[in-house]
């Protein structure tokens, strides 16, 4: 996969999905490292994909941001948001981000998305043999941040 084209698709997808579905103004900020070390926070999810290329997406955000996003997305008071609500919303968010990113990357190719899985941010590890390339984007909102990464398996 073309790394620059994928990064552009990721940035566009983040902007489109977060502004349209979650009504969040944001700035996409990259630290230049393209490493998954930026994946820290309270709530995280992963999602695998396959097709002409295969790999995994990972999304991580602080619990306070997950609570606010979930409350807005579900239309409920933030005090009523449960951990189950937050993890479900983050899993839906990664599903939207991954699908949109891959569609923007190449609308003529079919990618199969796995089922989003909730995980603790510290359990996301891109370790092992030859892990391929990792792209990592940090997104700043008015009050917080989130990180989206994609690991392309060789």
* 9 in a structural domain: yes
Of 27 and 71, more confident:
71
* 34 in a structural domain: no
> What is the CATH classification number for the domain harbouring 82?
3.40.1550.10
* 30 in a structural domain: no
Outline where DSSP puts E strands in the chain.
26-29, 43-50, 55-61, 112-113, 117-119, 133-141, 145-152
pLDDT at 36 over 60: no
* 32 in a structural domain: no
Instruction: Give the predicted TM-score (pTM) of the model.
Output: 0.88
* 147 in a structural domain: yes
What pLDDT sits at residue 127?
45
Number of domains in the chain: 1
121-145: per-residue pLDDT in tens? 877 755 434 567 788 888 877 778 8
What pLDDT sits at residue 38?
45
Tell me if 45 sits within 8 A of 138, measured CB to CB: no
* 111 in a structural domain: yes
Residue 94's pLDDT band (cuts 50, 70, 90): very high
Range of the domain at 94: 3-25+42-130+143-152
Tell me if 132 sits within 8 A of 110, measured CB to CB: no
Residue 37's pLDDT band (cuts 50, 70, 90): very low
Q: Give the C-alpha separation, 21 to 18, whole Å.
A: 6
Determine what percent of the chain is predicted with pLDDT higher than 70.
84
* 102 in a structural domain: yes
What pLDDT sits at residue 24?
79
Tell me if 20 sits within 8 A of 1, measured CB to CB: no
* 31 in a structural domain: no
Of 116 and 20, more confident:
116
């Amino acid at each position: 996969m073309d790394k620059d084209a994928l990064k552009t698709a990721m940035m566009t997808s983040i902007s489109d999905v977060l502004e349209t579905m979650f009504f969040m103004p944001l700035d996409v900020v990259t630290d230049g490292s393209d490493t998954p070390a930026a994946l820290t926070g309270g709530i995280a999810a992963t999602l695998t994909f396959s097709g002409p290329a295969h790999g995994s997406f990972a999304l991580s955000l602080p619990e306070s941001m997950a609570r606010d996003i979930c409350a807005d997305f579900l239309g409920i008071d933030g005090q009523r948001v449960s951990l189950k609500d937050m993890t479900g919303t983050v899993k839906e968010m990664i599903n939207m981000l991954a699908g949109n990113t891959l569609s923007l990357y190449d609308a003529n190719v079919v990618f199969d998305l796995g089922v989003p899985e909730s995980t603790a941010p510290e359990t996301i590890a891109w370790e092992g043999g030859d892990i391929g390339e990792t792209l990592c984007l940090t997104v700043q909102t008015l009050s917080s941040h989130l990180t989206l990464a994609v690991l392309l398996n060789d």
